[in-house]
Amino acid sequence: MSCFFVVDTCIDEHKGRGSYDEYIEQVVPIVERCGGKYIVRSEKITSLSPNRNPQCVIIISFPSREALTRCFESDAYKAIMNKRIESVDARGLIVEEDV
Protein backbone atom coordinates (compact mmCIF):
# COMPACT_ATOMS: atom_id res chain seq x y z
CA MET A 1 0.00 0.00 0.00
CA SER A 2 1.13 3.52 -0.74
CA CYS A 3 2.29 5.78 2.02
CA PHE A 4 2.40 9.56 1.88
CA PHE A 5 4.66 12.06 3.57
CA VAL A 6 2.96 15.44 4.01
CA VAL A 7 4.86 18.41 5.39
CA ASP A 8 4.01 22.05 5.92
CA THR A 9 6.78 24.55 6.37
CA CYS A 10 6.74 27.96 8.01
CA ILE A 11 9.58 30.33 7.25
CA ASP A 12 10.39 33.00 9.83
CA GLU A 13 10.34 36.33 7.97
CA HIS A 14 13.09 37.72 10.25
CA LYS A 15 15.32 34.65 10.00
CA GLY A 16 14.76 33.95 6.30
CA ARG A 17 15.15 30.62 4.53
CA GLY A 18 18.62 29.92 5.87
CA SER A 19 19.91 26.71 4.30
CA TYR A 20 16.40 25.43 3.50
CA ASP A 21 16.82 25.79 -0.28
CA GLU A 22 20.10 23.87 -0.13
CA TYR A 23 18.33 21.18 1.90
CA ILE A 24 15.58 20.91 -0.74
CA GLU A 25 18.15 20.46 -3.53
CA GLN A 26 19.89 17.70 -1.58
CA VAL A 27 16.81 15.85 -0.31
CA VAL A 28 15.13 15.34 -3.71
CA PRO A 29 17.59 12.69 -4.99
CA ILE A 30 17.51 10.89 -1.61
CA VAL A 31 13.72 10.71 -1.75
CA GLU A 32 13.75 9.54 -5.37
CA ARG A 33 16.35 6.81 -4.68
CA CYS A 34 13.97 5.38 -2.07
CA GLY A 35 11.06 5.29 -4.53
CA GLY A 36 9.48 8.57 -3.43
CA LYS A 37 7.59 10.66 -5.98
CA TYR A 38 6.78 14.31 -5.41
CA ILE A 39 3.04 14.78 -5.84
CA VAL A 40 2.86 18.44 -4.73
CA ARG A 41 5.44 21.06 -3.80
CA SER A 42 3.90 24.48 -3.66
CA GLU A 43 4.30 27.86 -2.03
CA LYS A 44 0.81 28.89 -3.16
CA ILE A 45 -0.94 28.09 0.11
CA THR A 46 -4.21 29.28 1.59
CA SER A 47 -4.30 28.39 5.26
CA LEU A 48 -7.66 27.73 6.90
CA SER A 49 -6.12 27.80 10.36
CA PRO A 50 -5.56 31.12 12.11
CA ASN A 51 -2.73 29.58 14.16
CA ARG A 52 -0.62 28.15 11.32
CA ASN A 53 0.24 29.84 8.03
CA PRO A 54 2.74 27.66 6.15
CA GLN A 55 4.66 29.06 3.20
CA CYS A 56 5.30 25.66 1.60
CA VAL A 57 3.47 22.33 1.48
CA ILE A 58 5.00 19.13 0.13
CA ILE A 59 3.31 15.78 -0.50
CA ILE A 60 5.47 12.79 -1.40
CA SER A 61 4.16 9.34 -2.32
CA PHE A 62 6.18 6.25 -1.36
CA PRO A 63 5.38 2.71 -2.48
CA SER A 64 5.27 1.56 1.16
CA ARG A 65 5.78 2.62 4.76
CA GLU A 66 9.06 0.70 4.69
CA ALA A 67 10.35 2.77 1.75
CA LEU A 68 9.43 6.01 3.55
CA THR A 69 11.16 4.83 6.72
CA ARG A 70 14.25 3.73 4.77
CA CYS A 71 14.44 7.20 3.22
CA PHE A 72 14.23 9.27 6.38
CA GLU A 73 16.38 6.90 8.45
CA SER A 74 19.13 6.72 5.80
CA ASP A 75 22.61 8.04 6.48
CA ALA A 76 22.26 10.34 3.45
CA TYR A 77 19.15 11.97 4.94
CA LYS A 78 20.59 12.20 8.44
CA ALA A 79 23.59 14.04 6.96
CA ILE A 80 21.40 16.90 5.68
CA MET A 81 18.41 17.04 8.04
CA ASN A 82 19.93 19.70 10.30
CA LYS A 83 19.80 22.14 7.40
CA ARG A 84 16.01 21.92 7.61
CA ILE A 85 15.80 21.77 11.39
CA GLU A 86 17.96 24.86 11.84
CA SER A 87 16.24 26.87 9.08
CA VAL A 88 12.48 26.42 9.18
CA ASP A 89 9.56 25.16 11.25
CA ALA A 90 8.50 22.06 9.32
CA ARG A 91 5.78 19.71 10.55
CA GLY A 92 5.33 16.35 8.92
CA LEU A 93 2.66 13.69 8.80
CA ILE A 94 2.80 10.11 7.59
CA VAL A 95 -0.45 9.05 5.97
CA GLU A 96 -0.89 5.38 5.12
CA GLU A 97 -3.38 4.37 2.48
CA ASP A 98 -6.03 2.05 3.91
CA VAL A 99 -8.51 1.56 1.09
Which residues lie below 8 Å from residue 96, measured CB to CB, with a gap of 6+? Answer: 1, 2, 3, 4, 65
- Residue 50 pLDDT: 92
Q: By the 8 A CB rule, do 20 and 88 touch?
A: yes
pLDDT in tens, 6-60: 999 998 888 888 899 999 999 999 999 999 999 999 999 999 999 999 999 999 9
- Residue/partner pairs of 44-52 with CB below 8 Å, 24 or more apart: 45/8, 52/8, 52/10
Strands (E), the chain: 3-10, 37-42, 56-62, 89-96
> Residue 20 to residues 36, 75, 89: CA-CA distances in angstroms?
19, 19, 10
Model confidence band, residue 91 (pLDDT cutoffs 50, 70, 90): very high
Reported as a pLDDT band with limits 50, 70 and 90, residue 61 is very high
Residue range 64-75, pLDDT digits in tens: 999 999 999 999
Is residue 98 helix, strand or coil?
Answer: coil
